[in-house]
């Protein structure tokens, strides 16, 4: 099972960008059951926030609901995950608190990889990270159980 960061969701529904098609490929593979993936409610919230800056709120909410359904069950961030994430945040200057908690959530969920266009997540080294370019996505999908 993989965990997706907000960047994957944003690029998959965004305008022309080099990462758009690979991110769409990931989401298509998740929707078809080719790979197992999830995320946190906070990632869905952040997606809706980013999307609403460029589109109307109804569009952002609709897409966020679709993502929540496709990626269900979502990882719940409880106090233990928050504490672990805050520990990562305190120990590593390269990552923000949101991403540190996402890393902790992925670890607690037993994820094999965290997929993100944010290269700072890879700098932490706590979990295998995949930058969602074409080559990495095809490799990820080829090795999916």
| Interval 64-102: pLDDT, tens | 999 999 999 999 999 999 999 999 999 999 999 999 999
Element counts in the chain: helices (H) and strands (E): 8, 4
pTM: 0.94
Among 45-54, 60-69, 93-102, 136-145, the range scoring the smallest mean pLDDT is 136-145
pLDDT band of residue 126 (cuts 50, 70, 90) is confident
Q: Bridge-partner residues for 38, per DSSP?
A: 3
Q: At a CB cut-off of 8 Å and minimum separation 6, what does 133 contact?
A: 18, 19, 22
Measured distance CA(37)–CA(47) in Å, rounded: 16
In this predicted structure, the answer to whether residue 3 has a pLDDT above a threshold of 80 is yes
**CATH, domain range 2-137:** 3.40.50.1010
Is the bond into 38 cis (omega within 30 degrees of 0)?
A: no
pLDDT number for residue 129: 95
pLDDT number for residue 45: 98
Q: Bridge-partner residues for 129, per DSSP?
A: 114
pLDDT number for residue 24: 97
pLDDT number for residue 121: 86
The mean of the pLDDT values for the chain is 95
């Amino acid at each position: 099972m993989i965990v997706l960061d907000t960047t994957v969701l944003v690029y998959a529904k965004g305008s022309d960008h080099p990462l758009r098609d690979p991110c769409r490929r990931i989401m298509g593979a998740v929707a078809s059951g080719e790979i197992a993936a999830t995320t946190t409610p906070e990632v869905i919230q952040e997606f809706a926030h980013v999307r609403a800056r460029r589109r109307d709120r109804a569009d952002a909410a609709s897409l966020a609901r679709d993502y929540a359904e496709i990626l269900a069950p979502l990882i719940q961030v409880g106090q233990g995950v928050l504490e672990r994430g805050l520990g990562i945040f305190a120990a590593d200057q390269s990552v923000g608190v949101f991403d540190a908690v996402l890393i902790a959530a992925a670890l607690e969920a037993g994820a094999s990889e965290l997929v993100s266009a944010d290269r700072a997540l890879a700098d932490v080294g706590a979990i295998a990270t995949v930058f969602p370019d074409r080559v990495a996505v095809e490799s990820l999908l080829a090795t999916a159980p």
